[in-house]
Chains A and B, each alone.
Chain A
Amino acid sequence: MMSSVAQSPTTGYLTMRLASEYYALPGTSVREIMRWRTPTPVPGAPPMIPGLINQRGQILTVIDARLLLGLAAAPLDRSTRLVWIQHHATDAALLVDAVIDLITIAPDHLTPPPINLTGSAQRVIQAVYQRDDDQPIAILDPSALLILVQEAL
């Protein structure tokens, strides 16, 4: 069964910046936001998996969201964050360039993703929120994102 974001009147989203683009995750799938720390590398893992961290007893796989989406990976800096996402029984830490805000979006403000998307973006972007006079925000599907990672491992 396809997972979908709850269709309540408005849904909370965590917005973040990856390279120069803006993305968002449904708030229901976000557990925690952490500062960057060096993970333990996993032999044989692709570059988008820098390794593993331990957050209070839970092992989290760190996923470089920029590489996953085929974006340029800038050096890490003070605004780099790890976003603990949880979907069903799967936990992971998403590496993002910055966490921006928690916003609410009414479902009727979301538009389908552009048809010219390719690669992994096509699979993990489930909708787009067009802000007035500002860059659009692409809404990520945590389930599709985790499946993509699982395939790559």
Chain B
Amino acid sequence: MDLTAFHTQFRDETTEHVRTLNDALVALEAQVDEAQRRAELDRAFRAVHTIKGSARMLGFEPIARLAHALEHVLDEVRQGKRIPERSLIDLLLRGGDLIMQLTSEVPHLSAATLAQLPELLQALGDTTTPAAAATSPLPPLPAPATSSATETPVATPPDTASPSRTGRQTVRVRVDRLDRLFNLAGELNIGQQWLAELERELERLQKMVEHQQRALLALEHDLGRLRFSPSQRQLLDARLAELRGTQTTLTDHVQHQLDRLGRHLLHQNLLVKELEHEVMAVRLLPIATLFNGLPRLVRDLAAATGKQVQLDIYGETTELDRKVLELIGDPLVHLVRNAIDHGLELPEERIAAGKSPVGLVRIGAEAAGNEIRIRIQDDGRGIDTDRLRRRAVELGWLTAERAGQLDTQEALDLIFQPGFSTATTITEISGRGVGMDVVRTNLLELGGQVRIDTVVGQGTTVTLTIPLTLITSQIVLVQVAQQVVALPATAVQSIIWVQRNQVYFIDNQPAITYQQRAISLIPLAALLDLPAESPLQRHLRAPALILKARQKRVALLVDDLIDEREAVVKPLGPLFARRPALSGAVQLGDGRLILLINPFYLVESNTHRSLPPATERKALPTATTPARLLVVDDSFTTRELLRSILQSAGYDVTVAIDGADALDRLRATTYDLVVSDIEMPRVDGFTLTTRIRNDLALVDLPVILITSLASEEHRRRGLEVGAQAYIVKSQFNQDSLLKVIQQLLGHEE
């Protein structure tokens, strides 16, 4: 029988409960009011109790044992037998972490993770024999008593362990079903557009009928003034009467049908809007689901960096689409980490600067019109833009003269360039310039923007702006060469007409002056590799779109503007995963399918092609042998995909089917870099990395872990065991992978 649905559900539920546990423990530590402490303690207790119950039911005994031990300790705290001092809270938090880790491995708990269990149980004061847990390698399969429920994977068995659940009933629904609903609601919307088109056609028909009626009256009038014999007159009158009759019927009929369609359309529009609204609402989650993890993160970071931090959170109830939440989770964590690690000063520095020793980090969300704004604000040292300029010169990206010409926003934009980092010591991935790149990539994917405002000595504010709805997007339709393409309206700041004689050249690149500044003018057709001459070669003037989100402005030249409208964007599917510039397709009312272009990716890859200018580029060592890479993944598809990406980037690639296979190959041959999956049979990615470092003593061999495990804990663990980079599959794009590889191989310029 298929237990996958149960396992997925268990993972989801337990993740939620561990989050509650963390939350309650951190709050418990900060709380002084006795009643409040009591409430937090109860919350923590309920959470572990529920985890224990479901783990038992599904037969994951190690998880149940750990939850039981935690429950036991919490109970003792409740009875006043133990004091919840810092070390005990730490221990409980670690317990939660291990539960998370075990849960993420469900159903096949790895021996490596289980090995951590006895020590923790001992520390928690587990009275039963801890050795037994470690020696049972795999949990027994769940009893088949639940088989009747497996037929309906969306239905949830009643959660008996949470007595607090009252009120309206809830059902868990698979995300792909929600996506399908979302998509179908979009289809209906398109259908509406088509009906509206039909209504306009009918109105045109009505106009023609009216016109004909007037012509008929005029004809009648004219005929009345002519002379005819009585018999001729009689015949004409009969014919005219017949025409009048038909005309009246026709007029009535058209009017009637138009009324009917109009009423139907009005009614239907309301329904479709309502449906869209509901479908969207189902996908909304409060941002609190992301923010809840922050107190813990801030606490740990403050402890690790020796800084004092006060965290201030607002707007937790702001609701966002779940896809948005998914994509901004990592950027948010990264930005908070930056704020504490790089932004805030040490207490003594702060006192010396005349500030309070406690640094303030404010994180909040608010809805503003059709957008959601998320702010991460610190009162730390701020970003020194001169240092950014110097760094760009050091990296050879810009000449000193050019760097000096950058204005503040352009200098800050450098932070988002892959491979740019001013951190003097590279401690972990955030110091490698990979992070801010991901922040922007994820935001672009959502049609959002990132903005940095900073004052040296006073602090930094990062603002993420994200469109509120994803069901329909505002798009701009343009004609490029022979094709019509769409661009997200959120990406376009304004549309201008460019005269041929306004164009001049900087470094052989066409440019125009817009708002007193020189901005590059790029024909969109050239970016799309469409064979066409520039529109300005054929016409004296042509429209151009000024792009918004990049702090550096670009104008895209197109042949013609067609329309701006609301549309449903449909994904192109996995086949186009390697073409991020093609972000989807939209269907117009007439059934035409139009490609949606994300202009930022296009411009980005174009800049990379031309930057740094060829004259400044240092000659690369010629005729080097390609670097040898080892790709480790148990999935055939992923393996082959990685192989082909890396081979086309010019690397010599060997593949291994799991960690054990990889170790064999590493013993036989030398490799320059390893790219590995984490979850694999026999030897997993963490173990592989550990063994590369310890058993094979390859201390310097770069290891990149690619995984679907997006949790902070796994990221930390990956870095702890000695991986140089950690890439989450959901953010996977080949460019960032290739950049990381280049950096690690020391090929970056």
Contacts and interface: CB of A to CB of B under 8 A. Distances in A.
A112 interface: no
A43 B587 contact: no
B187 interface: yes
Contacts of B184: 57
Interface stretch (A14-22, A48-56, A128-136): A48-56
A59 B570 contact: yes
Nearest to A45: B579
Interface in B580-597: 582, 584-585, 587, 591-595
B575 A1 contact: no
B637 A54 contact: no
A143 B183 CA distance: 25
A151 B640 CA distance: 9
B111 to A, nearest CB: 21
Contacts of A82: none
Interface string A12-50: 000000000000000000000000000111111000000
A3 interface: yes
A3 B592 CA distance: 36
Contacts of B582: 42
Interface of A: 1-3, 39-44, 52-54, 56-61, 88-92, 143, 146-147, 149-151, 153
A149 B575 contact: yes
At the interface, is chain B mostly helix, strand, loop or mixed? mixed
Contacts, number: 82
Residue with the highest number of chain B CB atoms closer than 10 Å, among A2, A56, A143, A150: A150
Given A59-B593, A150-B574, A40 B636 contact: no
Given A52-B585, A151-B648, 8 more contacts: A1-B635, A1-B636, A2-B636, A43-B529, A89-B573, A92-B573, A143-B636, A146-B575
A1 B634 contact: yes
A91 B574 CA distance: 8
Interface in B491-549: 528-530
B353 to A, nearest CB: 53
Contacts of A1: 634-636
Interface string B633-649: 01111001100100010
A59 B572 contact: yes
Residue with the highest number of chain B CB atoms closer than 10 Å, among A92, A143, A151: A151
B186 interface: yes
Given A43-B529, A44-B528, A151-B644, A89 B574 contact: yes
Q: Give the bracket for the number of chain B residues in contact with chain A.
A: 35 or more
A87 to B, nearest CB: 9
A52 B572 contact: yes
B529 A44 contact: yes
A52 B186 contact: no
B57 to A, nearest CB: 29
Contact of A3 (B530, B636, B641): B636
Contacts of B187: 56-57
Contacts of A146: 575
Nearest to B530: A43
B401 to A, nearest CB: 35
B716 interface: no
Given A59-B572, A143-B637, A150 B595 contact: no
A29 to B, nearest CB: 14
At the interface, is chain A mostly helix, strand, loop or mixed? mixed
Nearest to A90: B574
B570 A54 contact: yes
Contacts of A151: 641, 644, 648
B571 interface: yes
A42 B178 CA distance: 28
A2 B640 CA distance: 11
Given A57-B184, A61-B575, A40 B640 contact: no
Contacts of A153: 575-576, 578-579
B376 to A, nearest CB: 33
Given A2-B636, A57-B183, A150-B641, A90 B573 contact: yes
Nearest to B480: A43
B575 A57 contact: no
Contacts of A60: 573
Given A52-B585, A147-B640, A40 B594 contact: yes
Given A149-B575, A150-B578, A57 B640 contact: no
Nearest to B582: A42
Contact of B585 (A2, A40, A91, A143): A40
User: Which 3 pairs show the lowest CB-CB distances between chains A and B?
Assistant: A43-B528, A40-B593, A57-B187
A71 B556 CA distance: 40
Contact of A59 (B528, B571, B579): B571
Nearest to B190: A57
Nearest to B484: A40
Contacts of A53: 593
B483 interface: yes
B442 to A, nearest CB: 20
Nearest to A60: B573
6 contacts: A42-B582, A43-B529, A90-B575, A147-B640, A151-B644, A153-B579
Interface in B591-607: 591-595
A147 B576 contact: no
Nearest to A143: B637
B540 to A, nearest CB: 26
Contacts of B217: none
B587 A54 contact: yes
A92 B582 CA distance: 17
Contacts of B641: 147, 150-151
Contacts of B112: none
Contacts of B594: 40
Contacts of A44: 528-529, 579
B638 to A, nearest CB: 10
Contacts of A61: 572-573, 575-576
Residue with the highest number of chain A CB atoms closer than 10 Å, among B576, B578, B584: B576
Given A43-B483, A151-B644, A153-B579, A59 B573 contact: yes
Residue with the highest number of chain A CB atoms closer than 10 Å, among B529, B571, B575: B575
Contacts of B637: 88, 143, 147
